[in-house]
Amino acid sequence: MAATAYHYTERHEHDFDVEKGAALNAFAERTVRQGFVKKVFGLLAAQLALTTLIAGAIVLSSTVKAFVAANPWVFMLSFVVSFSIILSFTFSTTARQSHPLNLVLLFAFTAAEGVLVGAASAQVSTDIVLLALGITAGITAGMCLYALTTKHDITMAGSFLYAGLMALIFASLAGFFLKTSAFNMLVSGGGAVLFSVYIAYDVQMLLGGEHKFAVSPDDYVMGTIAIYLDIINLFLHILRLLSSNNRE
């Protein structure tokens, strides 16, 4: 009886240590993940502020607006810088994870995007830009809240969203040649819906936990860019939809 009791005690303590270790590991992972999410949303807030500042300077200043309109190279340079940095992040681990290089590239990318957004916004009236901004903010907040509260694992829909993105790209190319306002409005509306869902998808990718797929905490720059581009693309599609409807 003594031996049986002894072995039972030993097994019980071992199980307790395993459970305690698992709990500590889970706590550590949760702490790292929470810090990662806070870092991403902090960087995202800074990106959106910088984008608003640059785009606002273009839209609200007639001098800057005229300069951008008269010098197409500004738009092209911004596009090349933006695209080049995205490529470097995609193919270079050093560019993504080497601090402070990754942050320098991130904010150079954001500045270039700010010029692109400003150039697009300068082509429509200020009230439409403000309306598009308000709608984008509302949808973004709603989709973030949905991603945080829903029991559905949206991260499993990545392949469907990618297919939708490819369809949107081809439809946009077709719209460029067709030049039909109704078709372009349809594409803009579809793009707005797609990037709204992408916001919820990328937020859940940050959260990890019980979701099937998650962004590595080391890739906080890519996590930030993903949501940033979702919001920017959502804004641009809403802006085009509103401006097309206004012309109608």
Can you say whether the dihedral through the CA atoms of 237, 239, 240, 242 is positive or negative?
positive
Candidates 89, 122, 33; CA nearest to 228 is 89
Average pLDDT for the chain: 86
Residue 167: domain span: 2-247
Alpha helices in the chain (DSSP H): 2-60, 62-70, 72-91, 93-97, 101-121, 126-149, 158-178, 181-207, 220-247
* Predicted pLDDT of residue 7: 40
Percent of the chain with pLDDT over 70: 86
Task: Please give the pLDDT value at position 162.
Answer: 94
Q: What local confidence, expressed as pLDDT, does residue 8 receive?
A: 40
Q: Grade residue 183 by pLDDT with cuts at 50, 70 and 90.
A: confident
Overall domain count for the chain = 1
Range of lowest pLDDT (82-86, 122-126, 167-171, 177-181)? 177-181
pLDDT (0 to 100) of residue 2 = 46
Structural element, H or E, at residue 208: none
pLDDT digits (tens, 9 = 90+) for 201-244: 999 999 876 778 788 888 899 999 999 999 999 999 999 999 87
Q: Read off the pTM.
A: 0.86
Distance separating alpha carbons of residues 6 and 67, to the nearest angstrom: 85
165: pLDDT confidence band, cut at 50, 70 and 90? very high
CB atoms within 10 A of CB 163: 10
Sign (positive or negative) of CA dihedral 63, 65, 68, 70: negative
